[in-house]
Structure 1
Amino acid sequence: MACQDSDTARLIDVELDESVGRGTPDVEHERAVAIFDLVEENSFRPVGDSGEGPYKLKLSLVEARLVFAISRENGEAVVTHILSLTPFRRIVKDYFLICESYYDAIRSATPSQIEAIDMGRRGLHNEGSQTLMDRLKDKIDVDFDTARRLFTLVCVLHWRG
């Protein structure tokens, strides 16, 4: 479901807590790109929030859980949601495996083989995005494209480089 008012039902900032840890320069670059893409275009509103956005999101990892700490533009806390990462383990693992196959294929495979692998990669990304939307249902209202960008960020959080 898409949020109603694109000026206020959106993220203007995404921060990774120090609990996420730091990676190689490649990992840090991918995280920065994922955050930029998410902030650049999104539809995001905590369900039941009677106040106004836009919102800031601080992500942190606590054990096997992803913490979404949401605040307003002025820093006022709105809500915190905690999601288990367990439902994403298989999808993220499979996604990384197919991404490796894709990058290997780019060097030596035929265009049709690359296209087939890329279709599988996109399918897994869509599956992860839908799983994330389902897990956020009744917590945070996002559209599918925003869920895709958030899922990309979840994957990048797991990538150690």
Structure 2
Amino acid sequence: MGDNRLISVEIDDETLGASGPDAEHERRVAIFDLIEENSFALSDHDKGPYVLSLSQVDRKLVFAIHDESGTDVHTFILSMGPFRGVIRDYFMICDSYYDAIRTQTSHQIEAIDMARRGIHNEGSELLAERLEGKVTVDFQTSRRLFTLICALHAGNTR
């Protein structure tokens, strides 16, 4: 793997504490998937790999990026306002999907799952746009980061 990648993600429990064991599990899985495979290149720095520390200030997500030795490399703040509708829709369709698994036909479940993936893709594309000029990510990394953002906000928006 190249140097333009994340090797660790840290979550500030003071500002983004999990709302319970299920939320904590979702976060761990999202972080594992992200670390397992990602492409994360800073626009103004080429000396990765990187550690990403996430926290929240005034309902905004703070991305603090460090190198392997812990030296600060870059910090930026991402407003969550543009994501609220997509995240809300994503949680609603996920709830519908889990309900459908218990009562619907496989064709109905498949249709709901396609809609769920479409909303997830929409959130991933929005994230990549909002990161533009700061961080370059591929589509799969953007999807994994969006999954993590949803997991971080699971207790706050449902």
TM-score, normalised to structure 2, is 0.96
- TM-superposed deviation, 1:45: 1.4
- Structure 2 counterparts to residues 62-101 of structure 1, below 5 A: 62-101=57-96
AA in 2 matched with 1:39: I
Q: Which runs of 5+ in 1 are unaligned?
A: 1-5
Q: Identify the residue that residue 127 of structure 1 maps to in structure 2.
A: 122
Aligned equivalent of 1:136, options 125, 131, 136: 131
8 Å Cα contact 2:18/2:152 also seen in 1: no
Instruction: Determine the structure 2 residue equivalent to 1:14.
Output: 9
Distance in 1 between residues matched to 2:42 and 2:144, nearest whole Å: 17
Q: Give the match's secondary structure for 1:22.
A: coil
Mapped pair 1:24 → 2:57:
no
| Matching residue within 93, 104, 109 for 1:109 | 104
**In 1: Cα distance, 2:20 partner to 2:151 partner:** 12
Structure 2, unpaired ranges of 5+: none
* Corresponding letter in the other structure for 2:7: I
Higher helix fraction (1 or 2): 2
Name the SS for the 2:108 alignment partner.
helix
Displacement over 6 Å in runs of 4+: none
Aligned residue identity for 2:98: Y
Give the Å deviation of 1:46: 1.1
SS in 2 for 1:14: strand
Question: CA contact under 8 A between 2:59 and 2:79: conserved in structure 1?
Answer: yes
Q: Aligned partners of 2:150, 2:27: CA distance in 1, in Å?
A: 9
